[in-house]
Chain A
Amino acid sequence: MVSPPDERDVWKQLATVVDPELPFLNVVEMGMVREVVPSEAGGWLVRITPTYSGCPATDVIMQDIRRVLSALTADVEVEVVHHPAWTTDWIGEEAREKMSAHGIAPPIGSHADKSFLLGKKQTVPCPLCGSTSTRLVSAFGSTACKAHYTCNDCLEPFDHFKCF
């Protein structure tokens, strides 16, 4: 009989699953893994929160998670939880730095901010030169979770990961 994997092995496997739209970030860094807890069957239960409903990458990510965990052992179950809803607030500091390093301006502010209803705009600094003089080109960029900006100073285009 094979003994159940260590909790650390489960986390290690989860860290090999990347978001296909942000391939330098894994699902743990994205805050999609809510918890790993002992299951009733004596193995592990992994609770995952998908990023957002319109995201076409979600199905691929969930498939990948099930694939790497089933390779580990049969004693790992995956459960999808919708509550509380995933938020960009769960993306860690290190992951935000990685985004910047890859030319993507990380999420800014809180999703609870309602000032947009009256047309208030956020300043998104350029991840390449740091300038705060930037302009929105399109609210929906290369993927639904990103907006497309251009820097007025270095003139480079860049993506901004929106706050959800």
Chain B
Amino acid sequence: MAAQEHIRYIARLGDDAVVLGQRLSEWCGHGPILEEDIALTNLSLDYIGQARALYTHAGALEAQGHGEDHFAYFRDEEAFENHLMVELPKGDFGFTVMRQFLFATFAYLRMEALAGQTTDPELAAIAAKSVKELRYHVEHARDWVVRLGDGTAESRERLHRSLEQLWPYTGELFTPDAVDTWAETAGMAPDLARLKARWDDVITAALTEATLGRPEDGWMQAGGKAGRHTEHLGYLLAEMQSLARKHPGVTW
């Protein structure tokens, strides 16, 4: 069996993906225009696809007979170690694209680094695939942030508000805990300080172009990676897990 930290590192990559994928799926039938309804649900599919591969890999490392469904459907809130940012309610379209931009840029840079490591070849393969998908997530979200930020007074105000609401959740992305440090020492995970420098460049350039500017770093939220979540995750999981728990092993 692999190290506990190794399994947790992979599982929490899956947690980020499955929770954000579930949030994005809530746009199905509610997008502001048909094209964006399709776009957001396609993004959702990408994240769920990534989560499936990551959970399957975590289960194989754990070697206790747990498949992807165990990780997604049969663990409680405290066992999820996703970043708090991805579990926040979908908000309006402006909030969703701002979160997509801040998070997908982080996810892109993280997967790019994971694709280049050799400690865990299966993870490298999953990451190499994910990075190609995330590229389009970044592009899509960046376009909207610039268009709406540098748009009408109303769209600019909404983007600005979303940015202010989301910014306290960006600190957690780059604050390593024991699992991150283990994975970095093992040569698997990237140095989060270096990742942040690259993330800052991309974010600042886009926010400047969007006439929004980069917020000042203040007090930052934390707890997701320790299983301490906002009240929102429980509701999300209740909806996502109810079918699988009521009818375990159901197929159709």
Binding site for B on A (CB under 8 A): 52-56, 82-87, 111, 116-119, 137-141, 144, 148, 162, 164
Contacts and interface: CB of A to CB of B under 8 A. Distances in A.
A117 B201 CA distance: 9
Given A82-B122, A117-B138, A139-B140, A53 B35 contact: no
Contacts of A138: 35-36, 38-39
Contacts of A118: 202, 205
B35 A148 contact: yes
B174 to A, nearest CB: 17
16 contacts: A53-B133, A54-B45, A54-B49, A87-B132, A111-B132, A116-B135, A116-B138, A117-B202, A119-B143, A138-B35, A139-B39, A140-B39, A140-B140, A144-B45, A148-B35, A164-B132
B77 interface: no
Interface stretch (B80-88, B123-131, B188-196, B236-244): B123-131
Contacts of B53: 53, 82
B139 interface: yes
Nearest to B112: A114
Interface in B33-78: 35-36, 38-39, 42-43, 45-50, 52-53
Given A83-B121, A85-B129, A85-B132, 18 more contacts: A52-B129, A52-B133, A53-B53, A53-B130, A53-B133, A54-B45, A54-B133, A56-B45, A82-B125, A84-B128, A111-B132, A117-B108, A118-B202, A119-B143, A119-B205, A140-B35, A140-B38, A140-B43
Contacts of B136: 139-140, 162
A119 B130 contact: no
Contact of B139 (A52, A83, A84, A139): A139
A125 to B, nearest CB: 19
Given A111-B135, A116-B138, A140 B42 contact: yes
Interface of B: 35-36, 38-39, 42-43, 45-50, 52-53, 105, 108, 121-122, 124-126, 128-130, 132-133, 135-136, 138-140, 142-143, 146, 202, 205-206, 209
B204 to A, nearest CB: 11
Nearest to B17: A53
A141 B135 CA distance: 16
Nearest to B38: A140
Nearest to A144: B42
A118 B35 CA distance: 23
B168 to A, nearest CB: 24
A85 B115 CA distance: 10
Contacts of A87: 132
A82 B35 contact: no
Contact of B146 (A53, A119, A144, A148): A119
